[in-house]
Amino acid sequence: MNPVRRPPPGDRPLKTLERVLSKAGAGSRTEARKWIAKGRVKVNGRVVTDPDEWVDLERDKIAMDGKPLAKETPAYVLLYKPTGYLTTYRDPAGRPTVFDLLPDRERYLFTVGRLDLDTSGLLILTNDTAFAERLNNPDYKVPKTYLVKASKVLDDEALERLRRGIELEDGPTRPAKVERLREAGGTKTVFEITITEGRNRQVRRMVEALDAIVLKLVRVAIGPIRIGDLQMGKTRELTKDEVNTLTKGR
């Protein structure tokens, strides 16, 4: 029996070399260990004989008998993240992460951007680096829409400031779309905001600049894709059309 080795902490989904090979070669893990032990496997040009070495499928170049491993078929998964789940692959403190919600944890996927622990809503996971980079790149302006409940009544001028752009410590925000939905209990404001950037805690900080705090934050749409029928905590595959719409030039 091999001792169980924990993956090093970090945000990237790592797999053991043995697991990656057995999946790619559709052989058993025992067979994969033998291939590795025989020195048939290289990681980034270096022979690795430790089957428990952690590898990053997207970043490490893995070859067997001199042939690069075949790329996995691209996958695009939409998750309705509940609050209380971290957008990270592993939490050293053992708290639940969005990866715990995936039906197939073995599948190699990483998240496109992040949602705060206290934010719920849509999150995309993929194994396609180019797609992820494009979606995260503010120059492509993929709009993300959030439902916000703010801790006080925000007048029209306050919402207009959000629309025009607010000075934050890391620079002014780009113009945003803002739609007032209702005043909750006469003491709070519920509105939707659509932004094309994804800075750290951006919506929360924008609302804080108006001397209010965010009581509830839900990402209700990424581009034209809305939550629809998706249940909280569940996933569905994005359709080809959805993937194309998200990546087409704007």
Do 178 and 145 contact (CB within 8 A), yes or no?
no
Residues 103-122 that bind ligand URA (CB under 6 A): 115-116, 119
Candidates 133-141, 154-162, 199-207, 234-242; binding stretch for ligand URA (CB under 6 A):
199-207
- Smallest separation (angstroms) from ligand URA to the CB of 135: 14
221: contact with ligand URA by CB under 6 A = no
- Determine, following the binding rule CB under 6 A, whether residue 203 of this chain makes contact with ligand URA: yes
Among 107, 152, 188, 204, binds ligand URA (CB under 6 A): 204
Residue 201 near ligand URA by CB under 6 A? yes
Q: Which is nearer to ligand URA, 119 or 235 (CB)?
A: 119
Could you tell me which stretch among 22-30, 175-183, 195-203, 222-230 binds ligand URA (CB under 6 A)?
A: 195-203
Shortest reach from residue 217's CB to ligand URA, in Å: 6
Q: Which of 146, 163, 245 lies closest to 210, judged by CA? A: 163
Near ligand URA by CB under 6 A: residue from 101, 202, 222, 235: 202
Catalytic residue list contains 116 = yes
Instruction: Single out the catalytic residue among 52, 60, 91, 116.
Output: 116
- Annotated catalytic residues are 116
